[in-house]
Amino acid sequence: MSAPRVPSPRRSTSAGFTLIEMLVAVAVFTVLMIGLLNLLDTSTKVSKIESALADTQENVRYATYHLMRTARMMGGSIMPFARGGSAGNAWVSGEVHDNAAANFAIFGTTIDNMPGSDVLVLRGFFDVAPFFIHLSDLNPTGSTVTIREHTDPGGVNERVINDLSPYTGIANLFLNRGMVIATSDGQTQIGSAAQVGGQYVVAEVTGTTGVTGSVPNRQIVLTYSANAAWDVLNPDGSAIGAGEPGFRAASRAGILEAYAYYVDRNMVLRRLAQRAVGTTGSEPVAINIGGLQVELGVDADSDGFLNPTTEWDASPTLAEALAGSGVLAMRITVLGRTPFEIPDWTEPDATFTSSGNMPAPTAGASGPRHAKWRRMEVAVALRNFM
């Protein structure tokens, strides 16, 4: 009997990876991953820059139209932008400080201005809708004006002329703001024979009773007096005198505000209200703003048109603002920039030199020139200042 057959071991048909193959595979995988990570990093950086530019563009657009809207409402329709003459040269409803210093004084306080950026002052903004008044509500000798809610309370001619509900319970109502007392735009007798149109006087609200009484007899009594901050808005540029206003009719009493716009060194466009000086300070309008430039359109040759090359003034003096037919328009340029630097980028000089006369930041190793900028310009017809 033969011995049992022992089966021979089977040779495996599948071979493993060698060390060299493994190292090559790992190297190729590493190269691919590094490339993908670099692509992802580049994509993330581009997305971050594009997102910042989109935000900057929106901030610039908001800031520009905010300034434009405010500028068009300044001046109360009869207050000029600038005035010269025997009362002395003075800016009135508007004033441009070209490329103001870093620490610039306005409204008696010092602001932290972005070097090379303009400061724009706008006066005579109606803080609330003007109130209707009657000549009998005005007491020039006592320097008071009474704002009534109704006429002829309880009578046959009773009607609402001023809704005082929004002002009930407010302490120090309108205190330290400007007040304009005006006649209608028609001809108004101010003397035994003289007649003029659109008479007004401006003073400061120095006292207020707030809203007193009950419907329909509610009223506000405001006391006014001269103040240098508001005197400039008067027709003669001087302080209101005893017994003024002296005209024989009065139809409106409006509450006024003055604002200074500037860009601080944290790239925030700010608005400083004159009444806020020493109290609440300035308020932010828009962020990531690198500069503000303002130009005036001065019709120096009085032809009713603005020459695009010769009649836009980037650094106006008062005499220039008064030339010819005076200031007809304002061109506002807002420059925004990304809050961080962009590698291998230097903003071209044209961004700055074509924006008023803003000095271009130094193109050093780092700084604002190495951020990306966006610019927006609007021209505003200053109808209220004509």
Instruction: Please report, as a single letter, which amino acid is at residue 330.
Output: M
- pLDDT at 1 > cutoff 60: no
- pLDDT at 188 > cutoff 70: no
What are the extents of the domains in the chain? 20-84+94-120+259-386, 134-250
Instruction: Please report, as a single letter, which amino acid is at residue 361.
Output: P
Q: What percent of the chain has pLDDT over 70?
A: 83
> Exposure pattern of 94-115 as b/e (b: 16+ CB <10 Å)?
bbbbbbbeeebebbeeebebbe
**Lookup: tokens for 319:** 């005499």
Higher pLDDT, 156 or 165: 165
**Lookup: tokens for 193:** 């024979």
- pLDDT at 14 > cutoff 90: no
Is beta strand 252-263 parallel, antiparallel or unpaired with respect to 119-126? antiparallel
**DSSP code, position 343:** T
Query: Over the stretch 189-202, which tens digit does the pLDDT of each residue have?
Result: 444 444 444 578 89
Distance of alpha carbon 343 from alpha carbon 346, whole angstroms: 9
CA separation (Å) from 189 to 140, 198, 240, 292, 297? Answer: 17, 11, 19, 45, 35
97 φ, ψ to 5°?
-110, 105
What is the pLDDT, as a whole number, of residue 275? Answer: 80
What is the pLDDT, as a whole number, of residue 287? Answer: 94
User: For the chain, what is the mean pLDDT?
Assistant: 82
Q: What is the model's pTM?
A: 0.79
Query: Over the stretch 88-97, which tens digit does the pLDDT of each residue have?
Result: 557 888 889 9
What is the pLDDT, as a whole number, of residue 278? Answer: 63
Higher pLDDT, 224 or 357: 224
Strand (E) or helix (H) holding 258: strand 252-263
- pLDDT at 6 > cutoff 70: no
Distance of alpha carbon 168 from alpha carbon 147, whole angstroms: 13
pLDDT bucket at 2, cuts 50 / 70 / 90 = low
- pLDDT at 222 > cutoff 90: yes
**Lookup: tokens for 272:** 């400083």
At 330 the three-state DSSP class reads strand
